[in-house]
Chains A and B, each alone.
Chain A
Amino acid sequence: MLDVKNISLDFAGFSLKDISFGVGEGEYFVLLGKSGAGKSLILEIIAGLVNPDKGKVILDGKEITGVPIQKRQVGIVFQDYAIFPHLSVKENICYPLKAKHISREAREKTVNELAGKMGISGLLHRKPATLSGGELQRAALARTLTLKPKILLLDEPLSSLDVELRQDMRNILRKLNKEGQTIIHITHDYEEAVALAGKVGIIHNGEIIQTGTIKEVFHKPKSKFVANLTGVRNFYNAKINSDKKAILENKIEISTLPIVDNTKEGFVFFRSEDVVISCDRIDSSLTNSFKGTILNVIPAVGGVEIVVDAGIIVSAYVTEQSVENLGLTEGKDVWVSFKAVAVRFIGR
């Protein structure tokens, strides 16, 4: 559907280097990277707000690199929403339709439908200055969707929302995607990628260093940077059994803190630093303990990563001293333990 091919751009004190990626019809693609990595610039190039020095943007088999912004059929929702301050919410949402010679009734219908979907039906006659950030964002999203863009580009859509609104917005985005809307979403927060992405691209210093499904990238980070960005190696498909139990990879059951998420399926993860390795089973507050075999001992900066097969693959981060004291070598049987409080669940 969308192919970004070898995009390069030198910007004041900043550059994009040979950016390539593809997004399929109906896909939810998350570009993940720290702020200043060049994420927004990529969206602006796709939308045509910025022209690249080199490379092509291809949409549905047609090159759109030189096509004017207004003819691209690519909708963007800016991080600051860019709601027109002199128009009411309704006039904002109507804005794209006004020039299209669409009948008044059809316009009303579209506006009401989208406002309903976004939960802003009661705000249509308000001026933007009286709206909260979350409301402005919904208005901006509705406005962009009126034209039924082939691709929806979202610039950090969740980062400035509080926890509750974030959950609502996630649900809205998920639903949109399920209805077939192709989405590219950029963020610095790996949790958003976990919660929403079908595919992720990791961007660092103006380069895309890895793309793949969320599990591929989290399980097999291609570089130290990716591993650090995602922060977690222990990352599993999970089903919630009861409010304090989760089944990982359909294999083992673990204890968790009470889970408030409405969804019953998603991902569970915990940090390697939170995993304890012992030679024998220990009685302690570590509610999750599993027996397994060491698959790999990998020296890392400041410590050693121990990879254990305990039904699921668990990664633990320990000191070199512990490796010596416990005699941790490949093939040795050990116990891996972690607290229920260390376990995070993100619903899908």
Chain B
Amino acid sequence: MRKQSKFHLVIIFLSGVALLFIIAPLAGLMFSSSISQLTETVSDKEVQNSIYLTLSTAFFATVVFSIAGIPLAYILARKEFPGKRIVSGIIDLPVVIPHTAAGIAILGIISRDSLVGKAAGTLGLDFIGNPVGISIAMAFVSVPFLLNAARDGFASVPVRLEKAALNLGASPVRVFFTISLPLAKRNIISGAIMMFARGMSEFGAVVIIAYHPMITPVLIYERFGAFGLKYAQPVAVIFVLVSLLFFIVLRMIAGRKTE
């Protein structure tokens, strides 16, 4: 009995250390800047623009690549084909490779000298230093969250319900949009929220594609490099708060919708 309670004490202590490890730096950050510094930073046009750019590029990346990624998630959940395990492994690659390397890889594909870059160039579009390029970099590193969640969502829809719908005369397209997709919705939305959050916080891959225009993570890095810790802290605080706010609001909307 006594031994067990000692064991419990150790567990509680270690849990506390782990929690503190996450909370302490963030809490420290929150109290690092004075209110006047924060209000000054909020009204800084450069900061405002960077936050707007970050949110919009992450949102654009999430919407476009969600739509593009859902069919793949569906196929992975429903069909058996040779090499399926390899494909599943490939999906996770962007999460495990260093993000600067991911940035370099993307740059190789969309740079002005590449095939894609040249094709885009003839349309007058240049990905480098462009919000579209930023979105692509964000999507690359964050799309696995969506794909995995959507695949799990589709896998949890009983095949029998799809067959029942077919039996009721529905075309496969209608079955997908009226049965499979609505029933997998909860997973897809929570995957999309994770993708958005991950994309918004990306630094490594984005900084290689576009230093300018500046998303907030790059701005924080720049202020730190050029002016030091004290100047980077207020921007970091504001961006953390914005991220938290979006994360909580999206979760709440998603929670209400699926009830």
Contacts and interface: CB of A to CB of B under 8 A. Distances in A.
Q: How large is the interface on B (under 10, 10 to 19, 20 to 34, 35 or more residues)?
A: 10 to 19
Contact of A99 (B163, B164, B171): B171
Contact of A82 (B160, B172, B178, B183): B160
Interface in B143-164: 158, 160-161, 163-164
A76 interface: yes
B167 interface: yes
A49 interface: yes
Interface string B85-97: 0000000000000
A271 to B, nearest CB: 38
Contact of B167 (A74, A99, A146): A74
Interface in B136-194: 158, 160-161, 163-172, 174, 178-179, 182-183
Contact of B168 (A48, A49, A85, A96): A96
Contacts of A143: 168
Interface string A130-169: 0000000000000110110000000000000000000000
A80 B183 CA distance: 18
8 contacts: A69-B166, A70-B172, A76-B164, A82-B161, A84-B164, A84-B165, A95-B165, A99-B170
Interface in A146-199: 146-147
Contacts of B183: 85-86
**Most A C-beta atoms less than 10 A away, residue of B163, B171, B174:** B163
Interface of A: 47-49, 68-72, 74-76, 78, 80, 82, 84-86, 95-96, 99-100, 143-144, 146-147
Interface of B: 158, 160-161, 163-172, 174, 178-179, 182-183
Nearest to B160: A82
Given A70-B168, A70-B172, 14 more contacts: A49-B166, A68-B166, A69-B163, A69-B166, A70-B167, A70-B169, A70-B171, A71-B169, A74-B167, A75-B167, A80-B160, A82-B164, A95-B178, A96-B169
B154 to A, nearest CB: 14
Contacts of B168: 70, 75, 95-96, 143-144, 146-147
B166 A70 contact: yes
Contacts of B174: 99
Nearest to A82: B164
Contact of B170 (A75, A96, A144): A96
**Most A C-beta atoms less than 10 A away, residue of B163, B165, B167, B171:** B167
B179 A84 contact: yes
A157 to B, nearest CB: 15
Contacts of B161: 82, 84
B153 to A, nearest CB: 13
Given A80-B160, A99-B171, A99-B174, A86 B166 contact: no
Contacts, number: 56
Nearest to B179: A84
A319 B193 CA distance: 76
Contacts of B178: 95
Contacts of B182: 86
A340 B168 CA distance: 48
A124 to B, nearest CB: 17
Pick the 3 closest A-B CB pairs, nearest first. Answer: A82-B164, A69-B166, A96-B168
Contacts of B163: 49, 69, 82
A95 B182 CA distance: 14
Nearest to A74: B167
A69 B162 CA distance: 11
Contacts of A47: 167
**Most A C-beta atoms less than 10 A away, residue of B165, B169, B172:** B169
B62 to A, nearest CB: 23
B259 to A, nearest CB: 11
Nearest to B166: A69
A11 to B, nearest CB: 16
Contacts of A144: 167-168
B160 A147 contact: no
A48 B244 CA distance: 50
A42 to B, nearest CB: 15
Given A49-B163, A84-B161, A147 B179 contact: no
B165 A99 contact: no
A70 B172 CA distance: 8
A82 B160 CA distance: 7
**Most B C-beta atoms less than 10 A away, residue of A76, A84, A143, A146:** A84
Contacts of B158: 82
Nearest to B171: A70
A82 B219 CA distance: 53
**Most B C-beta atoms less than 10 A away, residue of A70, A74, A85, A100:** A70
A68 B182 CA distance: 23
A95 B160 contact: no
Nearest to A69: B166
Contacts of B170: 70, 95-96, 99
A86 B186 CA distance: 12
Nearest to A144: B168
A84 B167 CA distance: 13
Contacts of B171: 70, 99
A75 B165 CA distance: 11
